[in-house]
Amino acid sequence: MASRRAAEDLVRAGRVEIAGDRAVLGQRVPEGAEVRVDGRPIAVAATHRTFALNKPRGVVTTAHDERGRGSVLDLLPDVPGLHTIGRLDRDSEGLLLATTDGELTLRLTHPRYGHTKTYRVWCERGTPPPEALTKLRRGIELDDGPARALAARAAEGGAVIVLNEGRSHQVRRMCEAIGQRVVRLVRTHVGGLPLADLEPGAYRELTMRDFERLGYMPTGLEQETRRGAPRRPR
């Protein structure tokens, strides 16, 4: 019924009750417990849903854009509580996960879990020289603090860069710091999960194998049935 942030606001405002008691942030809902918002009971999903989307260029990851630009949520099924895990900026493409599972969101976004993200970039000046890629691996200073690539290797017309954090426009800013303006950026992996052959704008629901690649197994995950089949772009 709400995004993760909006749900937290509801809890802070004292509008959520679990089994008759006022809820607090971080509290888990016991199996079978009744959840009420403003005194009205709500349904609690027995199984979370998670999707992989190949985000196309020109689409934003915010749920609502003040400039009326298309949102990634318009490309995904209308599932209550569905939110993106992290962001890709409007001009970036590639693998973006969306889920109803707050625990998975935490696991993939908090630095202490060490999940990596891999990016394929194409640069205006072509493939960066070896010394520039060495600078990315050793670490450089950005306006919001130091940044270091876990890996950075040459690729045709650009590079492949691996990070374990995701600050705003970080890959682009790191490349600009070594004199390389990025003209195209595609996220190819989240942890061990690849973008694979998803078409731009297409999505699929994650399978048990996908969760294993992420090192995470949701509680109550159903056996693979209808999951995993790619859906064409709308």
Q: What is the CATH number of the domain that holds 138?
A: 3.30.2350.10
- Which structure tokens are listed for 128? 């960066």
- Note whether residue 169 is domain-resident: yes
Same domain, 99 and 162: no
Contact, 128 vs 180, CB < 8 A? yes
- Which structure tokens are listed for 105? 């969101």
Same domain, 93 and 206: yes
Task: Choose the catalytic residue: 74, 89, 101, 144.
Answer: 89
Domain that holds residue 90: 50-111+198-214
Residue 43's Cβ-side half-sphere holds a number of Cα atoms within 13 Å equal to 7
CATH at residue 98: 3.30.70.580
Quick: pLDDT tens for 74-133.
999 999 889 999 999 999 999 999 999 989 999 998 888 889 999 999 999 999 999 999
Q: What is the pTM of this model?
A: 0.77
Mean pLDDT of the 152-165 span: 97
- Note whether residue 104 is domain-resident: yes
CATH at residue 34: 3.10.290.10
Same domain, 90 and 203: yes
Quick: pLDDT tens for 11-52.
999 999 999 999 999 888 887 789 999 999 987 666 789 999
- Note whether residue 154 is domain-resident: yes
- Residue, of 150 and 112, whose pLDDT is higher: 150
Q: Among this protein's residues, is 89 annotated catalytic? A: yes
Whether the pLDDT of residue 2 is over 80: the answer is: no
Indicate the angle between helix axes 170-177 and 130-138, nearest 10 degrees. 130
Domain count, the chain: 3
- Note whether residue 229 is domain-resident: no
Same domain, 104 and 134: no
The residue type found at 181 is R
Percent of the residues in the chain that have a pLDDT greater than 70, as a whole number: 88
- Note whether residue 26 is domain-resident: yes
- Residue, of 98 and 223, whose pLDDT is higher: 98
Same domain, 207 and 159: no
Whether the pLDDT of residue 219 is over 90: the answer is: no
- Note whether residue 146 is domain-resident: yes
Contact, 62 vs 5, CB < 8 A? no
Same domain, 89 and 204: yes
pLDDT at site 225: 38
Quick: pLDDT tens for 164-192.
988 899 999 999 999 999 999 999 999 99
Same domain, 36 and 69: no
- Note whether residue 227 is domain-resident: no
pLDDT at site 166: 85
Same domain, 107 and 121: no
Q: How confident is the model at residue 224 (pLDDT cuts 50, 70, 90)?
A: very low
Same domain, 98 and 206: yes
Mean pLDDT of the 59-72 span: 75
Same domain, 88 and 130: no
- Measure Cα distances from 214 to 115, 191, 205 in Å: 8, 6, 14
The two beta strands, 50-55 and 93-99, are: antiparallel
Q: Cβ-count burial of 9 within 10 angstroms (0-12 exposed, 13-18 middle, 19+ buried)? A: exposed
Same domain, 132 and 159: yes
pLDDT at site 188: 98
Same domain, 17 and 32: yes
- Note whether residue 233 is domain-resident: no
